Structure 1
Amino acid sequence: MSRALVVRLDSLGDVVVCGPAVRAVAAGSASTTVLAGPRGAEVARLLPGVDDVEVFDAPWISAGAGPVDPAATAALVDRLRGRFDTALVLTSFHQSALPTALLLRLAGVPRVAAVSTDFPGSLLDVRLPEPADAPEPVRMLAVAAGAGYALPPGDDGRLALVDGLPPVAGLPDRYVVVHPGADAPARSYPPERWRAVVLALAGRGLPVVVTGGPDERALTSVVAADHGVDLGARLTVAELAAVLRGADAVAVGNTGPAHLAAAVGAPVVSLFSPVVPALRWAPHTDHRVILGDQHAACAGSRARVCPLPGHPCLAGVDPADVVEGVARLVGVRA
């Protein structure tokens, strides 16, 4: 069996939705390594089937990577050389796999597969078409299938993380999670509305845990106020996954932790800005409520900053609707 490398170089949620594809590769390989960006490396280690993780900040993928660093790219090539028989490069529809494929060729990887609408020359052995419109985990699994990898019998293709997540102290026995942060302002529900959601949930007798990333401590403090347990900037990715796994429901924007919640089986209320299509990027779970105007003028724009006055697609969502969505989902896993 081959030694396989699966590449996904962007962020946390992008890596999570590749989980089924990674499991398919692992089922047909002796070992499976994931090459991830800095924002996706932690969660890559939580995907079933992953034996090792390499990290590289690719300037053709990551907006914050800066200019191409010849020393860093040479170091990556040296780390990969001679270790893999095959590589599968997974990308979103707006990204090119070819710069990565070039580095893999320089590292001597003999078989490279990826989607490419551009002519790849000798960079790809398996050139795959862009998969049909579908949820992103389904699309990535289709790419893996095109490269010759199938899920093992009994694997239903759902998002999943490994068992044995670390315990987190100080949580209520039963609780719901509010995760107010998002990677881009265009995907963000206003903080004062999140705060109203927390207040209303607490008023219904639902204990609330507020979570946030390393740079979201000020946001979670405002949102939690005196009515929620504030864990902003206090959790590793594995600990965040454990908190989400224990939640009766999660209210979250269109951001990586929404996919993390789906991967641990938590019901999700998704405040989803249509700058990217919900069909592809809404949390991939049977237990979800999607809020937000999916037909707003910004739909499909991939804008990071809302181009419309007043941010209507999300600012128009009443906090009462978020609370009702959470109430509908509490208990669905019982």
Structure 2
Amino acid sequence: MTGHVLAARLDSAGDVLVTGPAVRAVAARADRVTFLAGPRGRAAAELLPGVHRVLEFQAGWVDFDPPPVTATTIDDLRTDIASLGVDEALIFTSYHQSPLPLALVLRTAGVRRICAISTDYPGSLLDVRHQPDEDLPEPVRAVSLARAAGYPATDTSLRIRADLPDARALAGDPGYVVFHPGAAVPARRMSAERSASIVAALCRAGHRVLVTGSREERELTAAAAAGVAEDLGGATDFAMLAAVLRDAGVVVAPNTAAAHLAAAVGTPIVSLFAPVVPACRWAPHGVPTILLGDQSAACAGSRARTCPMPGHPCLEEIEDDAVVAAVARLAGIERSLGAEDDLARRGA
């Protein structure tokens, strides 16, 4: 066993979920795992198997709405880390993020061994500087860091804890279709009008459709449900959302945390994927998935937060019939698994 290990991922819930396979590999050999998460990733970190404690820190060098980086905030973080008695840390990042600001804090907090992926020269800040192929799927990329740090891993599937709440009182009997219209980045989501059109088409095709979203997305979910689907906007916390997605036959979602959460509970996904980030890295991992959206659009690889193309064609031009057909195809795959295989796949 390797003592107390800190795993850090400071951005969003989906980013935290894709580190899950690496965290499980670490937890298999560590006495204790603490996860350092940002405020938008904390709820996901609390659902990862192998995590004993979650520590929250909003990093001014990572967060979408970065707070000021002050001596007080850094001192507080350093004090918190030092009090934990951490022996080793693995800093998980996306390719465009630097692990070095956090590595500096951890080093001054007395962490003896620090491992991260870094294109920048780390000096003495890192003990393991890993440089993988950057076009790996994000869960595979994270696992590659765990391996480089000495934690053997072969399983790259996303998982969360099995002790989820019972969703039936909220969502009814399993087998429905979930449509999740929202995404934190505007360039990755459809308009409310297109979402409503797709939801209506799914309902006409005979599906019972639940529309999910956060409290902040209630206006969007109401518009998407448009009186023909069940609007669960604001009705779920992260654990309940996981349970609702687990009981779905198929989930339709953009590139957002809900898609990765659906993958973590084993539900097939129709991915409405804007190519502002590469699908080879960020498409849902490890479950049957149909990717819709023009992956060769002019915005491809731009990392744009707001679509630079008039009319947002990569998503807005996805036809209703294409989504309905994709749902039907994945529902057929789901049925072919059989009840016993389905239960095993979902960890029930």
Match of residue 330 from structure 1: 331
Match of residue 181 from structure 2: 180
Deviation at 1:170, TM superposition (A): 2.9
Query: What CA distance in whole angstroms lies between the structure 1 residues aligned with 2:286 and 2:132?
Result: 23
- Structure 1 regions of 5+ residues with no counterpart? none
More helix per residue: 1 or 2? 2
Query: What CA distance in whole angstroms lies between the structure 1 residues aligned with 2:123 and 2:286?
Result: 39
Deviation at 1:132, TM superposition (A): 4.5
Query: What CA distance in whole angstroms lies between the structure 2 residues aligned with 1:78 and 1:228?
Result: 49
Deviation at 1:26, TM superposition (A): 0.6
Match of residue 127 from structure 1: 129
TM-score by length of 1: 0.96
Larger deviation, residues 198-207 vs 247-256: 198-207
Q: Percent of aligned positions with the same letter in both sequences? A: 53
Match of residue 244 from structure 2: 243
8 Å contact 2:95–2:134 — kept in the other structure?
no
Match of residue 23 from structure 1: 24
Amino acid corresponding to residue 170 of structure 1 in structure 2:
L
Deviation at 1:52, TM superposition (A): 0.7
Match of residue 339 from structure 2: none
Match of residue 164 from structure 1: 163
Deviation at 1:99, TM superposition (A): 0.2
Match of residue 191 from structure 2: 190
Deviation at 1:331, TM superposition (A): 4.2
Query: What CA distance in whole angstroms lies between the structure 2 residues aligned with 1:80 and 1:123?
Result: 16
Deviation at 1:295, TM superposition (A): 0.4
> After superposition, what is the alpha-carbon deviation per residue over 1:96-119, rounded to whole angstroms, capped at 9, x for unaligned?
000000110121111111111111
TM-score by length of 2: 0.93
Matches within 5 A, 1:64-79: 64-79=65-80
Secondary structure at 2:21 match in 1: helix
Distance 1:241 1:142, change over 3 A: same
Query: What CA distance in whole angstroms lies between the structure 2 residues aligned with 1:121 and 1:106?
Result: 14
Match of residue 253 from structure 1: 254
Amino acid corresponding to residue 165 of structure 2 in structure 1:
P
Matched, 1:63 2:64: yes
Matched, 1:5 2:6: yes
Larger deviation, residues 64-73 vs 119-128: 64-73
Matches within 5 A, 1:1-334: 1=1, 2-82=3-83, 83-151=85-153, 156-168=155-167, 169-173=169-173, 174-334=175-335
8 Å contact 2:266–2:287 — kept in the other structure?
no
Match of residue 344 from structure 2: none
Deviation at 1:227, TM superposition (A): 1.1
Amino acid corresponding to residue 122 of structure 2 in structure 1:
P
Q: Which runs of 4+ in 1 moved over 6 A?
A: none
Deviation at 1:63, TM superposition (A): 2.0
8 Å contact 1:194–1:319 — kept in the other structure?
no
Deviation at 1:329, TM superposition (A): 1.0
Larger deviation, residues 312-321 vs 94-103: 312-321
